[in-house]
Structures are given as C-alpha cells and as structure tokens.
Amino acid sequence: MGAATVGVLLQHAGAAEPGAEGAAGPAAQAQQVSAASATRLAERLAPRLGDAYGGAFYDGDERRLVVNVVGDDEDAKARVRKAGAVPRSVRNSADTLGAATRTLAGRADVPGTAWATDPRTNQILVTADRTVTGKKWGRLEATVASLGTGVARIEKSAGEFKLFASGGDAIFGGGARCSLGFNVTAEDGSPGFLTAGHCGVAAQQWSEDPNGAPIGTVQAATFPGDGDFALVTYDDPAAAAPGVVDTGDGQTTQIVRAADAAVGLEVARMGSTTGLREGVVTGLNATVNYPEGTVTGLIQTDVCAEPGDSGGSLFTRDGSAIGLTSGGSGDCTAGGETFFQPVTTALAAVGAEITAGDG
C-alpha cells in the first residue's frame, strides 16, 4: 500500500466532523452530491492539493464531500471550497499515511493482522486477530509506535482471519466449496464467472455438485499477492450465464455494471453458506496477512461471512457489482471484519466484462 492507497477514501458520517467548517461559514456553499460523485470530486482534488491532501470522506446526512487538509493551509482550503467541498484541518497527509502502510508491510506482516486507512480519524487502522499474541503482538505494537503519535492505532478482533473456502455445496473443486461471484464475458467472448483466487488455486475445475461433472475450468487465478480473484470459463460455450445475483427465495438482483467501492457504501453479500447479508464498506485498499499469505488491495466491510462464502458476490441493491468475498474474522453470529476483492480490479486483470442484465 503506497501513497496512492489513501488518495481517495470516502466515509459516510452522521454528525458534523471535528475541524469541518460549520454551516454558517463557507461550508454552507458546499455542493450536495451523491457518493459516486463525491468519489470523482475527491479524485480531481487530490492532485491539486498535493502535500496538503489528507484524504476525504462522504457526509451522508449532509450529502457533502469533506476533504482533509493538512494544517491551516488556507490556499488548499480555498481550492476545496471552490470545488464545492468542505475543508477539514487534520494532522496527517496522504503521503504520511501511505508511508506508514509501507512501514507496516515491511515490519509487521504478521499473520492475523490487517490495516486500512480511516479518513474519519485521519489514521491507519491496524486490526489484530486473537492469534496475535506474545512476540507477534510486541512486534506489531513496536511498529505502530515507531510511526509516530496519531498516525496509526491498533484494534483487537475477537475472531481469527481466515479464508472462507470450505467443503460443502455451491461450486466444488479439489475438496473445497466456494461461491460463484459474478458471471462475466471473457476476453475471447466465452461465458465465465469470477470467484476468489484462493479457490482458483485450490482446484483447476469446478462443478455444481460435490461429485458432479465439471462445468468450468480456471483460466487465471491470483492469490496471494496483488488480489484474491480467479476467472473460470464455462466448459460449454453455449452455457447460460445470466447477469443476476440469486438472493434466495426465488428473488434475484440484476447486475447492470461493475463499480468501485466507497467507504460508507451500503452493500449486500451473497454466499453459499450464509446467504444474503448486508452492511457497509469500512475501508479501502486494505492489506490482510492471512496464514496462507499476504493479500493487498482489498475492500474492508462489516458484512459477516463464513467458510463456503469465498468468492461470493458483494453488490449494491441498484445492481452494481462491487467485490468478491475473500476472508475475514468472526462469523454471522458474533460478527467481525470481512474483506473483498474489488471487481473492477479483477475484471481489468483478466480482460473480462461483467455480464449485465438477465440474459
């Protein structure tokens, strides 16, 4: 995770944020925008602000973009106001937080840890699961302390970070059970689907039943490393590959586009073990240190998941494909953190397009 990691981070906020200018001041002129428009606005502002940029988040109640500005840089604040956003004074720049994530990657890549940028607190949130104890905990604490005061904080998770593949139903391969993410059209025009990369490296062929005939063959898989995604093409070139998510009880959600996540975005997840679950995006460009290896560039959410849900679809109710289930901690009884592979990144890597509509 480099400086670009914290280039655009949006967070819904309920009340007025400390340091943000009140409604009676220049903030009253801020534009009301959607979360998607706020993402684009932040992308335009970040390079203009340079070293003064400290990330951004979306105030969902006011429908305004709040932009973190380092110190009392009045020129930068003026640029933010002119663009229609609300400036907020913070301590840490995006470059500072990006450097902190690189330090964590180099010194604290301990299995059972994860980190992502939290623009609300202008810090790196480091999460340690219950396996991080003793010398591992000491190493993590020492690394966070070395970043300086107020740059990062540690939170303990009651669960254990793990991949969500298991034996059971849904799609099967190599003794593992995973979930189909989204149907796609591969670069050569053949029908296929996306699933988790750790599923794609576990088996080359996948079936619909535990002992059934294969229906698809893995064409590309990434895990661990820069993502957790796999492209599987259907063995039958005439296979029906509808652009929908089956949400249970005979209901479906049509998928009409692939879209990037924004922190605070309300999302739903479908998986073969726990079915339909809902929550919000809590972090972007997350790094997760699984026992099997480190994965970067993930989406962090508070949506629960369990073994067998790996590869399942993360989407919005209006039909945007957002992510593929990777792993996390906890379960759907106790809760916990869950991480997802961004769909847009996976599609770009394998040269596929999301199958839209219900065809």
Q: What is the CA radius of gyration of the chain?
A: 21
Check if CATH label 3.30.420.40 holds for domain 159-359: no
How far apart CA 327 and CA 293 sit, in angstroms, is 12
Closest listed residue to residue 218, CA positions, set 193, 245, 181, 253: 193
**pLDDT digit string (tens) for 212-261?**
899 999 999 999 999 999 999 999 998 888 899 988 878 889 999 999 88
**Domain ranges across the chain:** 3-90, 96-156, 159-359
The full length of the chain comes to 359
333/351 Cα distance (integer angstroms): 38
Dig out the tokens for 206 from the structure.
């996948």
Instruction: Give the pLDDT of residue 63.
Output: 84
Mean pLDDT of all residues in 310-322: 93
Confidence band (pLDDT; 50, 70, 90) for 289?
A: very high
Return the pLDDT at 359: 40
pLDDT at position 165 is 55
Contact status, residue 262 vs residue 38, Cβ threshold 8 Å = yes
pLDDT digits (tens, 9 = 90+) for 151-160: 999 999 988 9
Six-digit token string for 194: 């996306």
What is the pTM assigned to this prediction?
A: 0.81
Fold of 96-156: GMP Synthetase; Chain A, domain 3 (3.30.300)
The mean pLDDT value of the chain amounts to: 87
Catalytic positions, written as ranges: 198, 228, 310
d(CA 55, CA 94): 6
Non-local CB neighbours of 133 within 8 Å, separated by 6+ positions: none
3-class DSSP state of 65:
strand
Q: List the beta bridge partners of residue 234.
A: 216
| Angle, helix 94-107 to helix 134-146, in steps of 10 degrees | 150
Helix, strand and coil in the chain, % to nearest 5: 20, 40, 40
